[in-house]
């Protein structure tokens, strides 16, 4: 695969050479500065061997060809450079100080909040003054490539892990005979290979190693999308340091995080699901195959709360006056793109005292700390880690511990729409799919500029304030959607990011199943609700396919090349940088209809019984479409497959644009005409009106079949019929519900009404500064 990029295209490059070295663990040590809108500190990367699951080459000729490609990728036009490290290279405001080693000895790493003072570089990484070194006499040195964008890298060094006392207990490195360079590599190899039963000791060793002194600066350079690092006289990946420390700081304009204000007007920063993922937050390996664990220590002013993808419910540790430190860790290997962080003046929202609280408390007690219940055997197919699927106690835990955070001004809305729904939604998911993959959950109501209704990451869900409506339906369905991602999208990920339907299609299909179970609807009511939602999605899919390029309608755009990478492990994500892609729902909708078709064709009971088996077999792993389809059809007797095959499903559903023939025939057989849809919607709206005419104090858990798009549809009708008395409601929707209001800008502009167009421009000017780049680009295209 040729990964040379055409700047006129919209593909996202994944540059990391994961075939040679894989990051096994990250340790981030960071400070958040809201005045400068910068996060700075250092990250330590611990490496293992490269990806061994590359496609086997069929001939010596192919091997030579791939090696040639690899050499081309690694050989730079100019030699790697050594940053000038004299005194002029540092800011006159902050002196150069070596990081101080932690003085807490063998104190548990999970409570370690050591503070580092970091050097600051005048010039950015890409414009540093370099001096050239050609002392390798023409021999090529190995070049480590990391995904990196919009970061100022200050220094890169090897970490002297051999200086850490007490590692002999956990490593078998030949300390007396090996040269220092080899000894350091062997220590890390032994450390990353520790068994899952020693996960606490492993994290403690990682933390202590991360605080070891440096033992040599490494050469580094960069381009737009990557950071390249090498060590003199290290010709292969096996000779390259296996523990390195990178000192860096983010840039205010970096796209991985959003610096904004919350609903109370207080500053905050969070990862908002950028198309470039986390490479503007920390240097990393972005390809999904680079599954790693992490620890992070983050310091901020005492008024801020730090939330993060982490197994522990972190509590702040006081530092110097006015500052707190937060520490999180993860033991389940995950792609770096799934890491999420949010720092703001959040308040924890707790259910108000009621007779139902005893039930909630009982179900949300954490599991006992004893590890005796974990059975570290070969029952799972993934790489070794302390897996909840091997815990009998976890298997019966229908509601995992959870916390809810939001700005204090949204407390009433959280009480009304969200808090009481979490236990039944978690319980419903467990009843359908079994063991929760993650041990706990934080839910954060993010600022108004969040560009979607929700986003799931390990142990944390971001929800838009738009879900906190007067009815429970929108909040409940969206919560179910994001909970479904714990299984599909996180515990089971796509090996090729272009197969987004493996995440979003599953979550969309499962949200209906979870929501019906959470409401405890009778079968006929659940079917009626799901049919209505199917009709709405059908019309939405038709609209989208009429107004989108054919190339972006395909669920498997790489076709037979899906999952393939270059010899180095680098690849591209097709259309990954297209700003319109983030607003398209084809992967959600076509994926949903494919799974609905399979479930109805094979039988709901058969399908969901299979799905639980699939989750048990593939959790903790990356998959391609054929992995799911092959196992599904093999689990069904051939005489009951009704002519379905992996090949024809891929051909008809995944690799073609437009609407699959089987779906067209299914929708024709079912009355999904506009007139029937109007009748169903009218019925749902009538129920919504009846519900909202009731007194505000109503029993928690009351079933509602509220129509989630009523408010948005109302604004569309106001614009269409130029109903001037309600223009203020359209303006309020655009300002307060940015996650749902993007499309209204288009409606306002095509109305050709001067007053409505002025409203669109006025609202955009008010929110533009806080919008994410992709959303702002799309609205700009509509308005100008």
Residues 6+ apart with CB under 8 A from 548: 580, 584, 586
Tally Cβ neighbours within 10 Å of residue 72: 13
Task: For residues 719 and 717, give the distance between their C-alpha atoms in angstroms, rounded to a whole number.
Answer: 5
**Structure token digits, residue 227:** 């950071």
Best CA proximity match to 416, nearest among 739, 696, 695, 738: 696
For residue 593, give both structure tokens: 């209809």
Edge-first strand order for the sheet with 460-463 is 347-349, 402-406, 441-445, 460-463, 454-457
Q: Give Cα separations from 311 to 7, 10, 117, 307, 531 (angstroms).
A: 40, 35, 27, 11, 38
User: Do residues 252 and 260 touch, judged by C-beta distance below 8 A?
Assistant: no
Structural contact between residues 37 and 343, judged by C-beta atoms closer than 8 angstroms: no
- Quote the tokens at residue 484: 């479904």
The rounded distance, in Å, linking the Cα atoms of 456 and 473 is 19
Positions marked active-site: 482
User: Residue 147 has which token pair?
Assistant: 């995904």
Q: 78 in helix, strand or coil?
A: coil
Answer for the pair 260, 339: CB distance below 8 angstroms, yes or no: no
- Residue 381 has what DSSP assignment? -
Please list, in sequence order, all residues whose beta carbon lies within 8 angstroms of the beta carbon of residue 462, skipping any fewer than 6 positions away: 270, 272, 340, 342, 444, 446, 450, 454, 455, 456
For 486-523, b/e burial (b = at least 16 CB within 10 A) is bbbbbbbbbbbbbbbbbbbbbbbbbbbbbbbbbbebee
3-class DSSP assignment, residue 415: helix
Question: In whole angstroms, how large is the CA radius of gyration of the chain?
Answer: 27
**3-class SS of residue 206:** helix
CA angle 464, 491, 520 (to 5 degrees): 60
- The count of C-alpha atoms lying within 13 angstroms of the C-alpha of 758, restricted to the half-sphere facing its C-beta, is 5
Nearby residues of 604 by Cβ (< 8 Å), 6 or more positions away: none
SS3 36: coil
């Amino acid at each position: 695969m040729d990964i040379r990029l055409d700047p006129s295209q919209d593909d996202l490059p994944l540059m990391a050479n994961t075939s040679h070295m894989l990051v096994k663990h990250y340790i981030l040590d960071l400070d958040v500065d809201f005045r400068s809108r910068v996060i700075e500190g250092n990250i330590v990367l611990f490496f293992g061997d490269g990806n061994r699951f590359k496609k086997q080459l069929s001939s010596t000729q192919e091997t030579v060809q791939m090696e040639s490609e690899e050499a081309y990728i690694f050989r730079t036009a100019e030699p790697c450079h050594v940053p000038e490290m004299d005194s002029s290279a540092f800011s006159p405001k902050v002196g150069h100080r070596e990081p101080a080693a932690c003085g807490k000895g063998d104190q548990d790493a999970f409570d370690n909040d050591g503070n580092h003072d970091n050097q600051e570089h005048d010039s950015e990484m890409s414009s540093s003054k370099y001096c050239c070194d050609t002392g390798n006499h023409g021999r090529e040195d190995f070049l480590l490539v990391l995904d990196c964008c919009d970061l100022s890298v200050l220094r890169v060094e090897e970490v002297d892990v051999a200086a850490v006392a007490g590692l002999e207990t956990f490593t078998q490195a030949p300390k007396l005979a090996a040269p220092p360079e080899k000894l350091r590599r062997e220590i890390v190899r032994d450390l990353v290979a520790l068994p899952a039963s020693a996960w606490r000791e492993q994290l403690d060793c990682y933390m202590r190693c991360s605080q070891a002194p440096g033992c040599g600066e490494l050469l580094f350079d960069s381009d737009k999308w990557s950071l390249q690092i090498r060590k003199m006289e290290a010709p292969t990946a096996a000779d390259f340091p296996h523990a390195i420390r990178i000192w860096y700081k983010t840039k205010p304009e970096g796209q991985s995080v959003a610096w904004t204000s919350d609903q109370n007007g207080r500053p905050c920063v969070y990862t908002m699901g950028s198309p470039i993922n986390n490479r503007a937050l920390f240097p990393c390996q972005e390809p999904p195959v680079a599954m790693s664990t992490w620890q992070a220590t983050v310091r901020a002013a005492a008024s801020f709360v730090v939330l993060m993808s982490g197994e522990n419910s972190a509590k702040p540790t006081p530092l110097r006056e006015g500052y707190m430190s937060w520490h999180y860790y993860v033991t389940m290997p995950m792609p770096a793109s799934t890491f999420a962080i949010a720092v703001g003046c959040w308040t924890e929202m707790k259910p108000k005292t009621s007779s139902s609280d005893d039930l909630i408390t009982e179900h949300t007690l954490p599991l006992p700390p004893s590890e005796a219940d974990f059975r570290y055997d070969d029952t799972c197919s993934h790489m070794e880690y302390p897996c909840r699927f091997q815990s009998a106690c976890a298997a019966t835990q229908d509601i995992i511990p959870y916390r809810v955070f939001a700005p204090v001004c949204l407390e009433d809305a959280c009480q009304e729409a969200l808090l009481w729904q979490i236990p039944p939604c978690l319980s419903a998911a467990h009843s359908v799919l079994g063991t929760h993959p993650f041990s706990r959950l934080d839910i954060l109501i993010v600022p108004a500029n969040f560009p979607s209704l929700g986003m799931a990451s390990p142990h944390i869900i971001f929800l838009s304030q738009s879900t906190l409506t007067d009815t429970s339906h929108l909040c409940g369905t969206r919560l179910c959607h994001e909970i479904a991602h714990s299984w599909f999208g996180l515990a089971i990920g796509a090996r090729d990011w272009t197969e987004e339907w493996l995440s979003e299609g599953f979550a969309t299909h499962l949200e209906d199943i979870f929501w019906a179970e959470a409401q405890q609807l009778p079968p006929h009511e659940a079917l009626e609700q799901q049919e209505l939602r199917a009709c709405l999605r059908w019309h939405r899919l038709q609209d989208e396919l009429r107004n989108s390029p054919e190339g972006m309608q395909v669920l498997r755009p790489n076709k037979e090349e899906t999952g393939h990478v270059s010899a180095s492990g680098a690849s591209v994500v097709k259309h990954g940088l297209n700003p319109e892609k983030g607003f398209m729902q084809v992967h959600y909708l076509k994926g949903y209809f494919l799974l609905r078709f399979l479930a109805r064709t094979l039988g709901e009971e058969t399908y969901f019984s299979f799905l639980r088996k699939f989750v048990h077999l593939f959790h903790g792993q990356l998959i391609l479409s054929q992995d799911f389809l092959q196992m599904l059809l093999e689990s069904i007797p051939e005489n009951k497959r009704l002519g379905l095959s992996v090949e024809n499903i891929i051909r008809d559903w995944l690799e073609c644009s437009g609407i699959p023939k089987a779906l067209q025939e299914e929708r024709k057989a079912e009355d999904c005409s506009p007139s029937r849809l109007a009748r169903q919607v009218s019925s749902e709206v009538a129920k919504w009106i009846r519900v909202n005419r009731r007194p505000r104090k109503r029993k928690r858990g009351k079933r509602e079949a509220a129509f989630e798009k009523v408010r948005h549809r109302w604004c569309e009708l106001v614009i269409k019929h130029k109903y001037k008395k309600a223009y203020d409601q359209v303006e309020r929707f655009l300002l307060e519900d940015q996650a749902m209001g993007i499309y209204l800008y288009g409606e306002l502009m095509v109305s050709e009404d001067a007053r409505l167009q002025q409203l669109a421009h006025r609202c955009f000017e008010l929110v533009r500064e806080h919008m994410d780049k992709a959303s702002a680009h799309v609205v700009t295209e509509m308005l100008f």
